Amino acid sequence: MPDGHGVIEVTGDERGSLLLLAGDPVFLEASDGCGSVGWLAARAGIGGPGLGEVKYLTEWLSAPDLVPDPRTGQVEPPDPECLRPLLSLLAPGRYVMKAEVAPDHLRVVHPRALQVHGWYADEDLALVTTDAWPPRDHRAVRGYRDRIRAGGDLPALVALFPTAESPVGYLLDGHHKLAAYEQAQARPLVIRLTPQVPRPFRRDDLDRARTAFSEGAPRDQDDALGRVLSSMRAGAA
């Protein structure tokens, strides 16, 4: 993506990452360093930029004609041109695209503004929502659910991961589809986007993240965020 607009960028690695929208830190996920593979996710204040720019792909993603291998769950990745409206919003650089059915143990994480959501990583994958959850268009959810149950063309989600090994990704598009998969008790089809070369944390981003996530947050949450951000800053470029 040599000409990406830089609206969406992810920095970090499999131990934690920061999602920036238009250069502003908006979402954070990381190990909390408290043992038992504890994890947390946080969201900046209400004033953070939204993801309305990403909604152009809904029609194609609702029926992308991607057929999973019945044995492996792997899918031949789609033509990148199909995702061009979304890819053009990413930070410039090379990305790896992979499509597959999600593992059996999937967690949906929805951090509310200025709140920290914690969990134990006892599942294979966690998706951090970036839009309203549960989604508000119940008719759309029912439509996807009925198609999934009928065995039709599977709708696809799009998630951005900091590295190929990361157990946590940011759901950029597909909140209604994910809710439909949950109602149908089916494993979702996920298109995974990952920077080919992971982007290290930048100190100035983490300094701004401390302010964005901590201002107005309860003290106990602020302490957890402080530990995580301090650890990230120690390894920042």
**H-helix or E-strand spanning residue 176:** helix 175-184
Note whether residue 201 is domain-resident.
Answer: no
Note whether residue 187 is domain-resident.
Answer: yes
C-alpha 15/C-alpha 69 separation (Å) is 30
Give backbone dihedrals phi and psi of 152, rounded to 5 degrees, phi first: -80, -165
**Whether 111 contacts 153, CB under 8 Å:** no
- Sorted by sequence, the CB contacts under 8 Å of residue 208 that are 6+ apart come out as 24, 25
154: which DSSP letter?
A: P
pLDDT category at 114 given cuts 50, 70, 90 is confident
Q: For residue 50, what pLDDT is reported?
A: 57
Note whether residue 61 is domain-resident.
Answer: yes
Instruction: Give the least confident one: 58-62, 138-142, 167-171, 221-225.
Output: 221-225
Q: Is the pTM of this model over 0.85?
A: yes
> Which residues span the domain enclosing 91?
54-112+121-195
Q: For residue 34, what pLDDT is reported?
A: 58
Note whether residue 156 is domain-resident.
Answer: yes
Q: For residue 139, what pLDDT is reported?
A: 95
Helix axes of 219-234 and 203-214: crossing angle, nearest 10 degrees: 180
Q: Which residue matches tokens 């029926």? A: 63
Note whether residue 13 is domain-resident.
Answer: no
The burial of 122, by beta-carbon neighbours within 10 Å (0-12 exposed, 13-18 middle, 19 or more buried), is given as: exposed
Note whether residue 71 is domain-resident.
Answer: yes
**H-helix or E-strand spanning residue 119:** strand 116-120
Q: For residue 127, what pLDDT is reported?
A: 96
Note whether residue 154 is domain-resident.
Answer: yes
Q: How many folded domains does the chain comprise?
A: 1
C-alpha 233/C-alpha 29 separation (Å) is 14
3-state secondary structure of 93: coil
Average pLDDT of span 212-233: 73
- Inform me whether the pLDDT recorded for 35 exceeds 60: no
Average pLDDT of span 90-98: 94
- Inform me whether the pLDDT recorded for 36 exceeds 90: no
C-alpha 117/C-alpha 60 separation (Å) is 32
Note whether residue 73 is domain-resident.
Answer: yes
